[in-house]
Amino acid sequence: MLVLILADTELELVPEELANHPSIVKNARKRGKTPSKILLDISLHRSAFGDSSDVERRGRPDIAYFVLTLCLDSIANAEGKLTTLIHTRNDDLIEVSPKLRPPKRYNRFVGLMEDLFDKGAVPEGKPLLTITRNMTLEKVLEKCNPKTTVCLSPDGEPADLVTLFNDVEETVACLVGGFPEGDFTSPAKELSDRVLSISPHLLKVWTVASNILVSYNLSDKTYK
């Protein structure tokens, strides 16, 4: 089993202190929603950040969307060998059923996440996404209890992931930062058995996630 954990993901509702900013109020009104119940999105709400350095980092729900789509459509997921978890900057843990069909359109994903933050589980009745508050990364790892935890980082030890998956004991958890800039704010490296780099280049989050999923499939852990 592989557990892919998108850690410190920049996925959140508009925080209280930004909810009255005109760009956010306008966007919420256009969508018929309350400002504090829409996702923070830097592509729409950039002016609300002023000259704060948060502009480089916060409000990136698109990262979670791309990674979720890759995970749910992966061979490991089709074989029932993948758990996908999204841990956010605010220590919310989103658990994703492997049966969830990834929303085809980004707008649909945004609506689904907003509903999830509001209701705690969606769809109602037979939830495929659930959210739990106050789940530090440490608690997330305690909950899934992997045998091996690997943190992916550009400044880690160079590694080939196919070899890694062949060698390590399962269940293996891979921590990937769900943010565009900066480093983990959670102690992801300290909580891991190994910190590994897959390239000398700084890669996009979805490139790292796809590399993990393909490598797991190429290892002897999945059907070929």
Ligand X SMILES: C[S@@+](CC[C@H](N)C(=O)[O-])C[C@H]1O[C@@H](n2cnc3c(N)ncnc32)[C@H](O)[C@@H]1O
- Give the residues lining the site for ligand X (CB under 6 A): 152-154, 176-177, 179-183, 197-199, 201-205, 208
Nearest to ligand X of 49, 66 (CB atom): 66
Angle subtended by helix axes 61-72 and 106-119, to nearest 10: 100
Please, which residues have CB within 8 angstroms of residue 31's CB and are 6 or more apart in sequence? 38
Nearer to ligand X, 26 or 204 (CB): 204
Shortest distance (Å) from residue 8 CB to ligand X: 8
Question: Measured from the CB atom, is 117 or 184 closer to ligand X?
Answer: 184
In angstroms, give the least distance from the CB of 154 to ligand X: 4
Instruction: Give min distance, CB of 158 to ligand X, in A.
Output: 9
φ and ψ of 151, to 5 deg: -105, 125
Answer for the pair 5, 174: CB distance below 8 angstroms, yes or no: yes
Task: For residue 113, give Cα distances in angstroms to 100, 128, 187.
Answer: 13, 12, 26
User: Closest CB to ligand X belongs to which residue?
Assistant: 177
Judged by beta carbon, residue 111 or residue 156, the one nearer ligand X is 156
